[in-house]
Chains A and B, each alone.
Chain A
């Protein structure tokens, strides 16, 4: 059986950062990534990150991705591509399906000392009549097509959701040449940052607050979207329906942590809407209630890439310390600095709620371990 000291599931910002931090201290790391290129969703994030300079504000996600991959290369971090972790078993054994070609797969078992779950998140769907029609897709899917594959998924787009994803992706689809017909937000106010919203309103793009999608019409592809105003009880205001000609409807309705491996590993989960749903409880070191299994990034509760990077580093430091590569004084110093940066990232819009949810996650860990 293949052996390693630390196995990271998922080579996005959290997984790469965990690997770098641990490898710098001397830990032997293997990253398992399902895609043909690591970097997670960083390579579709062509916008400059926000926050303070401490958090790399002003740097584009794509550049951060290249930088992290280069660091991994320099530190001899082993990255398995086209490889899917299909199971986490007792005694830190991980099963990996390595795709060799369309028809050939190899099943490889890896014996490791530490596991980091950095599987990220998946997009939430919104279900309405016609939601399965071609042309109705996740906002992230449209972003992947336009920014990563450089193919427009459609020309006339209606965005559902005005959170930061909805706003940023709308702007990026416009940059790629699409027309944004409008943005629909069921809540009374725009959900994302004003700085992103104003970039769109300046271009004359209507943001329909208090509206929801009623139906997507079309046969082989969506060709119309019907939207309407919502009452406080979420029913549709009679006569408020508007029909828009579109060829694409993108759904930016939030994300949920990908917790399959945490569930399989027996990690205790908690459900909190500010984490995006179910997420594993963890301690100050990002270790879950299952010894030797750690979690970082969106898999530990949906936030954004900078937070994922910091949580990844926290895993890396904790694991290096636990395996004897870092003395506890040095490790504590590093961890304190990371937690301070995380606190900074959890300020601002919805910051109080997110901080509260993360606090509850730590408390639930303690309760589970004492109980």
Chain B
């Protein structure tokens, strides 16, 4: 568990309200309103996507929506920057392969 529940400056974390999401086909709890990337990190999931040519893993790099290393397939939509996209009840999140597939792509 990677959540910082107590902190010398920020204090104790308030009681968490949870939402249910599905990550790579498995159910997972996430903190309501938090970014997808944060929810995944809290569970120790660190690979967000694999690169197109060399299939190398990528994960959190800038954390503020600039670098696009944390892009995943969210609700079937590829290339979603998970560090700046909040979780929603019922959301599905999948590791992205290359550039991802759009609806209708073969």
Contacts and interface: CB of A to CB of B under 8 A. Distances in A.
Contacts of A149: 34-35, 38, 41
A139 to B, nearest CB: 10
Interface of B: 2-5, 7-10, 13, 34-35, 38, 41-42, 46-48, 56-66, 69, 74-75, 77, 80, 83-86
Contacts of B38: 145, 149, 151
Interface stretch (A127-135, A179-187, A353-361): A127-135
Contacts of A136: 61
A176 B63 CA distance: 17
Contact of B57 (A102, A133, A144, A153): A133
A224 to B, nearest CB: 16
Given A35-B84, A102-B77, A102-B80, A134 B60 contact: yes
Contacts of B35: 149
A36 B60 contact: no
Interface string A138-176: 101110111101111101000000000000000000011
Lowest 4 A-B CB distances belong to which pairs?
Answer: A134-B59, A141-B63, A149-B38, A144-B63
29 contacts: A35-B64, A35-B65, A46-B10, A102-B77, A103-B77, A122-B62, A123-B62, A134-B46, A134-B57, A134-B59, A135-B46, A137-B61, A137-B62, A141-B61, A145-B60, A145-B63, A146-B4, A147-B10, A149-B34, A149-B35, A149-B38, A150-B3, A152-B3, A152-B4, A152-B41, A153-B60, A175-B7, A219-B57, A221-B46
Interface of A: 34-36, 41, 46, 60, 102-103, 122-123, 132-138, 140-142, 144-147, 149-153, 155, 175-177, 219-221
Contacts of A133: 57
A129 to B, nearest CB: 12
A146 B41 CA distance: 11
B45 to A, nearest CB: 10
A151 B4 contact: yes
A41 B64 CA distance: 9
A102 B74 contact: yes
**Residue of B47, B63, B74, B83 contacting most chain A CB atoms (<10 Å):** B63
B63 A151 contact: no
Contact of A145 (B13, B41, B74, B86): B41
Q: Is the interface of A mostly helix, strand, loop or mixed?
A: loop
B104 to A, nearest CB: 14
B4 A176 contact: yes
A242 to B, nearest CB: 24
A153 B48 CA distance: 14
Given A135-B46, A140-B63, A149-B35, A177 B57 contact: no
A36 B84 CA distance: 8
Contacts of A103: 77
